[in-house]
Amino acid sequence: MNRYLTSLLFLLIISSTALSQSKYYTKRGHVSFFSETPIENIEALNKKGTSVLDVTNGKLEWAVLIKAFQFEKALMQEHFNENYMESGKFPKATFVGQIVDYEPIDLSKNQAYTYTVKGDLKIRDITKPIETKAVLTVENGKIKGESSFEVKPEDYGIKIPSVVRENIARIIEVKVDCNYEALKSVK
């Protein structure tokens, strides 16, 4: 009986380790956006994005706290949080998606993989489907992820007053990048 229990415990530890190594994560993903207009460019960076990538099936999730976006000008940041994003009411944005036609990456080879990603982007409690290209680069067993896509503020209920309408681009370019780490099992 003791041998059986030891074998069962060993199998549980092995399967839990194998399962945990199929998921990679970051708590320091970068999400930036850029809006170019004739009057002034608007740019912000968030270095606290969280993401989980399952390398066995290509499932992908992102979450960012809206208040963590940093602007060059404090007034822009204040207007972004209070007037446009209402970050007190809608504190985060999320993406839940899937790599299309996913073929598992080989972590033993340094290589870049280009994929199409489809999923749902949720901003201000409004969810819209998006599709974009993403690159996963394996280097020395580590994974770096990069992508960019475009967002129309009005698609997410972001109202821009007519007096400043020309100061904000109608389409915002969003870029994401991160370095994933293997998700360790809890012991």
Alpha helices in 59-185 (DSSP H): 74-79
What value does the mean pLDDT take over residues 117-121? 98
Reduced to 3 states (helix: H, G, I; strand: E, B; else coil), residue 78 is helix
Q: What is the pLDDT of residue 5?
A: 34
Binned at pLDDT 50, 70 and 90, residue 170 comes out as confident
Judge contact between 9 and 128, C-beta under 8 A. Answer: no
Q: Is the dihedral of CA 129, 107, 28, 176 positive or negative?
A: negative
With bands split at pLDDT 50, 70 and 90, how would you rate the model's confidence at 14?
Answer: very low
Band (pLDDT 50/70/90 cuts) for residue 185 is low
Mean pLDDT of 8-34: 67
For 8-30, what is the mean pLDDT? 62
How many residues does the structure list for the chain? 187
Q: Is 50 exceeded by the pLDDT of residue 8? A: no
Q: What's the predicted TM-score (pTM) here?
A: 0.83
Query: Mean pLDDT, the chain, as a whole number?
Result: 87
Residue-wise over 136-174: b if at least 16 C-beta within 10 A, else e?
Answer: bbbeeeebebebebebebeebebeeeeeeeeebbeebeb
Strand partners, 148: 175
Measured CA to CA, the distance from residue 87 to residue 124 in angstroms comes to: 8
Quote the tokens at residue 141: 């067993």
Q: What is the mean pLDDT of residues 134-145?
A: 96
Long-range contacts of 68-77 (CB under 8 A, 24+ apart): 69/31, 69/33, 69/44, 69/45, 70/44, 70/45, 70/46, 71/42, 71/43, 71/44, 72/43, 76/42, 76/44, 77/44
**Predicted confidence band at 163 (pLDDT cuts at 50, 70, 90)?**
confident
Q: Which residues pair with 139 in a beta bridge?
A: 142
Please determine, for residue 81, whether its predicted confidence score (pLDDT) is greater than 80: yes
36 band by pLDDT with thresholds 50, 70 and 90: confident
Domains and CATH numbers, the chain: 2-182 (2.40.128.110)
